[in-house]
Structure 1
Amino acid sequence: MIFVTGGSGLVGSFVISALRQRGLSVRALYRQQPPALEFAEQVEWVEGDIRDGLGLRAALEGVTHVFHCAGLVSYAPQDEDLLQQINVEGAANLVDACLERPGIRLGFVSSVAALGGTVPGPEQPTAAGPLVLDENAKWDLGAEHNAYATSKYLGELEVWRGVSEGLQAVMINPSVILGPVDWDRSSTRLFRYAYNEHRFYTPGSINLVDVRDVVDILLRLTLDTNYSGQRYVVNAGALPLREFMTQAAACFNKRPPTVAVPDWAAETIWRLEHVRSLLTGARPLITKDTARAGRRVTEYRATKIEQALAFRFRPLADTISWCCAGLVQSSGVNR
């Protein structure tokens, strides 16, 4: 019996589909109502919350493997407490529940954000040379980190605590995960931006990976190996944001963005958005962290997982094309 958290999310939904294709029994956590997914009728759905430790203990009855795909991705200042509750306390609850059932293996979805790396300030928008990070990156306690990155790092610490107490666990650190899901969700907003033919883009690059590769790696590590106490960067490569937008727009037969937003303008916009969010309570469209993201070229090396599983990532061009086609088909929009 396999237990999955975050089954309604991008990674979790693909994990459930892949597990059922393997013929494995799946139990999955949901909060309000079970999501409408492929194989949903073949899943044992359990109503609950990752923040409910007692509920998690009950849900793990008879479970052999756990895939923790639940998590909050947000850079809005209003969500700092929620990030702590879901990404840190939720991870701690799940680790504690797993420790009470010896023999369980945990596959934990973290993020490259947990590897550290600092965000340039307005006075130093571009540092010289790329920042190269892999699994051996050390978290700099004295550096400035956004709340999301901090929550993922602290969530990883809970898994390391579990490993030190005997838990069999592996972690993956994916970059921005691409998949054809709801237009309003997570990384899919990048495709919506390209589809809507916005004129502006921010300089910089973005690291990307196909959700199918993420799920394949996660399942193989957790189900097909005995690796434990290891984490693996999962990243297919980086693209300049303008190139990504251009490729996506071409797939949609749309006009790509052509006007670069200078750093000074981005600094002004996020400050105005911050004031607007304070006055209205709405989520800011751009934050300090998103405005400054990508200013320093960062390279996340996935050599470790490529060697461990003899793995080859899908080309990003194929992933972008697949996502665009799936989004058009699922939403019924015309190209």
Structure 2
Amino acid sequence: MVLVTGATGILGRVLVLELLKKGKKVRAAKRKSSNIEEVKKSWLFYTADAERLFEQIEWVDVDLWDLDSLRAALDGVEEVYHASAKVSFHPKDAQEMLRTNVEGTKNMLYIAEEKQVKKFLFVSSIAVLDEVNENGIIDENSQFNPKEEHSGYAQSKYLAEMEVWRSSAEGMNTIIINPGVIIGTGNWGNSSGELFTTFEKNPFTFSGGTAYVDVRDVAKIAVELMDKNKFGERYIILSENRKYQDLSD
């Protein structure tokens, strides 16, 4: 059994789909208020077999701060894809992101260890990587620089990564992926795609740019990494870099 958290999110829903297409049994974790019909509708963009595959999902309501809820969700689970996260670029949400992204991940890892989960993949972000290599490029050896200014989201993902590395050091088989801004169908209000909403609401431009990636590529690579047991490492997943000016035009 495979558990996917954040299963109604832009990435989580496609992870579920990719796993089902590979014949895996999937338990999809969601909040009680989540709209699963919207997920099924979005699948029509990705597959002609949406209805049949959707019926195979075992949905479960999960509260990241209720350990008994997590125990029930992780019962009989061998693999976890932890894609659940609070995404915001608003300073007012900084504390909520710390609670959800850091403490929620810590709780997931604690119960996963208790339940002897065999594999744990954590969805992080390129936002946590600062230092460039000798060629001026960010790679998997790049580190978070606490002396630089970061968004609350980046800080929360960095601290969550620290919890994953701790579990890895203690013997859990973990993988961290660091995708760029994920492009896909679904609710952009709680994903890295919120960046596009920001551009729509504000008639100004930004300097610089960032990297983007198709959600289908992220899901396929994540599943492949787990299937090939690529543990104890991080993997950057992106497609191309674009300037912010290009998005606001």
User: Hey, what's the Cα distance between the residues in 2 that align with 1:138 and 1:88?
Assistant: 18
Tell me how large the CA RMSD over aligned residues is. 2.5
Q: 2:222 aligns with which of 218, 225, 228?
A: 218
Letter in 1 for 2:243: P
Are 1:91 and 1:155, in contact at CA under 8 Å, matched by a contact in 2? yes
Tell me the percent identity. Answer: 38
State the shift of 1:148 in Å.
1.2
TM-score (norm 2): 0.84
State the shift of 1:30 in Å.
1.5
2:167 is the counterpart of 1:162 = yes
**What is aligned with 1:146?**
151
**What is aligned with 1:262?**
none
User: Hey, what's the Cα distance between the residues in 2 that align with 1:81 and 1:9?
Assistant: 21
Gap regions ≥5 residues in structure 1: 118-129, 246-256, 258-335
Letter in 2 for 1:144: E
Gap regions ≥5 residues in structure 2: 41-52
User: Hey, what's the Cα distance between the residues in 2 that align with 1:137 and 1:191?
Assistant: 26
Cα distance, 1:82–1:107 mapped onto 2, change above 3 Å: same
**What is aligned with 2:78?**
64
User: Hey, what's the Cα distance between the residues in 1 that align with 2:190 and 2:143?
Assistant: 30
SS where residue 49 of structure 1 aligns? coil
SS where residue 65 of structure 2 aligns? coil
Superposed counterparts of 1:278-289, under 5 Å: none
Are 1:6 and 1:71, in contact at CA under 8 Å, matched by a contact in 2? yes
State the shift of 1:139 in Å.
2.2
**What is aligned with 1:27?**
27
Deviations 1:274-304 (A, max 9, x none): xxxxxxxxxxxxxxxxxxxxxxxxxxxxxxx
2:87 is the counterpart of 1:73 = yes
SS where residue 19 of structure 2 aligns? helix
2:194 is the counterpart of 1:180 = no
State the shift of 1:43 in Å.
1.2
Cα distance, 1:58–1:8 mapped onto 2, change above 3 Å: same
**What is aligned with 1:46?**
60
2:206 is the counterpart of 1:202 = yes
The structure with the largest alpha-carbon Rg is 1
Superposed counterparts of 1:1-335, under 5 Å: 1-33=1-33, 35-36=36-37, 37-38=39-40, 39-116=53-130, 132-182=137-187, 184=189, 186-188=191-193, 200-222=204-226, 224-245=227-248, 257=249
Bigger RCO of structures 1 and 2 (CA < 8 A, at least 6 apart): 2
Cα distance, 1:77–1:162 mapped onto 2, change above 3 Å: same
**What is aligned with 2:49?**
none
User: Hey, what's the Cα distance between the residues in 2 that align with 1:227 and 1:197?
Assistant: 41
Are 1:181 and 1:188, in contact at CA under 8 Å, matched by a contact in 2? no
Mean CA deviation greater in 236-245 or 77-86 = 236-245
TM-score (norm 1): 0.64
State the shift of 1:14 in Å.
0.4
State the shift of 1:40 in Å.
3.7
Cα distance, 1:240–1:98 mapped onto 2, change above 3 Å: same
